[in-house]
């Protein structure tokens, strides 16, 4: 069987496995995203993929070639989140979302750093000071993909949902800066020399450059959309600009010794923000783009499940440190969101439930962990603990998000529409 045929067969099996398992998840009242992740684990390189039969399961080698799917999916997820930054809505919740987004991220970093530094003194041979500092920064990141999928699946609407998505977006922007600073300090501790460029300047440039790129692409998108009138061509233009923004975001430059890179998440969020505020028909196009990307997002979560490293359970130190990390991060997110929400005079449901919805962690945290491997052995422990935490958070987080939004009243427990049944009834009526 050719490599192309093998890849297509593996992708189709991954898609089918995710869809079939989502039917079981619905019976168990679990979010579909949880089913996609579990199906990825089942067909991934540690289970079916380990059999190494072409087309059956996903191997480590294939996962590397599926990176483009993950990059594209994250681009569309960030683009959709940009839709939450409409000026009319920001006038109502912008100040509150900013306070919560910044405070809970920094509060979580402080809590995790304090706890892990304390653990460092208990088991210094397993957890270095550098690794503890970097893990504190990794703790800021929240998974926008899982959160957005739960919101869309259950059509969540209400005060908590309205503030949740802007907070998640700001959370990751703050996280990138905090991580870059902590990573720079960790490198300085290991080398004994302080690099001001990497600690302060480069992370700020990355955020500014990403927002500027997204703004430029958003302005071009809004301008080009006016030349197309059919629904299919306008949707094609939407897909084109998201893909183009993701592609440009992967570029890296060096100017006068300063490394300049982009965050595709921030760039695509700004792309969506510009488009939704300046294009008169943005809501229709956003809705159509969501429909087009549905199978890509299913594949993204199945592949994410396949990437979860079950081997991390083999090291007792990773499990112990990972459990401490998960507990301290959860405390930081929950109380950080609650304290800042109360200080900014938010609705009582936001104070009680927002922190729970910020627990999922995946793509951004994994990206930070991969960057941390540059620290050598210290970076490897950061990577393994992050993988352990992601495994737990991704399987449990979406369910907790659903429970929190349901208790807050943003998810209404009613019978979901059956498109197939409605079509058959309509056909019979004719």
Quick one: pLDDT band at residue 415, thresholds 50, 70, 90? very low
Q: What is the mean pLDDT of residues 169-191?
A: 77
Q: What is the mean pLDDT of residues 133-162?
A: 83
For residue 419 the two structure tokens come to: 């498109």
Provide the 10 A C-beta neighbour count for residue 30.
Answer: 18
- When the pLDDT of each residue in the chain is averaged and rounded to a whole number, the result is 81
Residue whose entry in the numeric block shows the structure tokens 């893909």: 243
For residue 329 the two structure tokens come to: 């991060």
Q: Give residue 194's Cα distance to chain centre.
A: 31
Q: What is the mean pLDDT of residues 338-358?
A: 89
* CA atoms of 408 and 352, how far apart (whole Å): 8
**288 pLDDT higher than 80:** no
Share of the chain above pLDDT 70, in %: 90
**328 pLDDT higher than 90:** yes
Per-residue exposure over 292-306, b if at least 16 CB sit within 10 Å of its own CB, e if not: ebeebbbbbbbbbbb
Judged by average pLDDT, the poorest of 120-124, 158-162, 302-306, 416-420 is 416-420
Judged by average pLDDT, the poorest of 18-27, 213-222, 258-267, 362-371 is 362-371
- Residue 418, sorted as left (phi over 0), alpha (psi -120 to 50) or beta, turns out to be beta
* CA atoms of 135 and 133, how far apart (whole Å): 6
Of 78, 82, 44, which is closest to residue 61 (Cα–Cα)? 44
- Evaluate whether 150 touches 33 at the Cβ level (below 8 Å): yes
Q: What is the mean pLDDT of residues 218-234?
A: 87
Q: What is the mean pLDDT of residues 240-245?
A: 92
Q: What is the mean pLDDT of residues 263-292?
A: 81
Judged by average pLDDT, the poorest of 105-109, 187-191, 196-200 is 196-200
Q: What is the mean pLDDT of residues 47-60?
A: 75
Quick one: pLDDT band at residue 260, thresholds 50, 70, 90? confident
**416 pLDDT higher than 50:** yes
pLDDT of residue 80: 80
pLDDT of residue 113: 92
**235 pLDDT higher than 70:** yes
**327 pLDDT higher than 70:** yes
pTM of the model: 0.73
Quick one: pLDDT band at residue 83, thresholds 50, 70, 90? confident
- Evaluate whether 78 touches 94 at the Cβ level (below 8 Å): no
424 burial type by CB count under 10 A (0-12 exposed, 13-18 middle, 19+ buried): exposed
């Amino acid at each position: 069987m050719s490599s192309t045929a093998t890849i297509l067969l593996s992708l189709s099996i991954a898609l089918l496995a995710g869809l079939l398992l989502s039917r079981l998840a619905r019976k168990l009242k679990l979010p579909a995203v949880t089913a996609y992740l579990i199906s990825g684990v089942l067909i991934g390189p540690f289970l079916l993929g380990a059999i190494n039969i072409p087309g059956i399961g996903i191997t480590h080698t294939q996962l590397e070639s599926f990176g483009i799917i993950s990059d594209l999916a994250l681009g569309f997820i960030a683009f959709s989140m940009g839709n939450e930054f409409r000026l009319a809505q920001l006038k109502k919740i912008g100040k509150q979302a900013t306070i919560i987004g910044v405070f809970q991220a920094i509060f979580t970093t402080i809590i995790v750093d304090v706890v892990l530094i304390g653990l460092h003194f208990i088991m210094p041979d397993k957890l270095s000071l550098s690794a503890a500092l970097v893990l504190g920064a990794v703790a800021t990141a929240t998974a926008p993909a899982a959160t957005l999928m739960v919101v869309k699946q259950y059509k969540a609407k209400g005060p908590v949902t309205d503030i949740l998505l802007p907070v998640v977006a700001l959370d990751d922007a703050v996280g990138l800066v905090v991580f870059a600073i902590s990573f720079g300090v960790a490198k300085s501790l290991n080398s004994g020399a302080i690099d001001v460029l990497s600690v302060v300047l480069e992370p700020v440039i990355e955020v500014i450059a990403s927002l500027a790129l997204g703004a430029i692409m958003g302005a071009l998108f809004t301008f080009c959309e006016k030349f197309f009138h059919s629904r299919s061509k306008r949707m094609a233009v939407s897909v084109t600009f998201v893909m183009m923004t993701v592609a440009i975001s992967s570029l890296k430059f060096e100017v006068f010794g300063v490394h300049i890179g982009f965050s595709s998440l921030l760039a695509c969020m700004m792309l969506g923000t510009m488009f939704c505020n300046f294009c008169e028909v943005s809501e229709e196009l956003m809705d159509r783009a969501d429909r087009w990307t549905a199978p890509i997002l299913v594949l993204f979560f199945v592949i994410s499940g396949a990437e979860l490293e079950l081997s991390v359970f083999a090291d007792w130190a990773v499990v112990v440190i990972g459990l401490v990390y998960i507990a301290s991060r959860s405390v930081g997110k929950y109380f950080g969101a609650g304290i800042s929400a109360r200080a900014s005079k938010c609705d009582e449901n936001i104070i009680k439930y927002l922190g729970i919805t910020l627990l999922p962690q995946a793509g951004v945290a994994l990206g930070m962990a991969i960057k941390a491997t540059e620290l050598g052995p210290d970076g490897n422990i950061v990577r393994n603990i992050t993988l352990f935490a992601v495994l737990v958070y991704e399987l449990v987080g979406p369910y907790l998000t659903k429970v929190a939004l349901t208790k807050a009243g943003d998810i209404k427990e009613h019978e979901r529409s059956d498109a197939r049944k409605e079509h058959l009834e309509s056909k019979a009526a004719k």
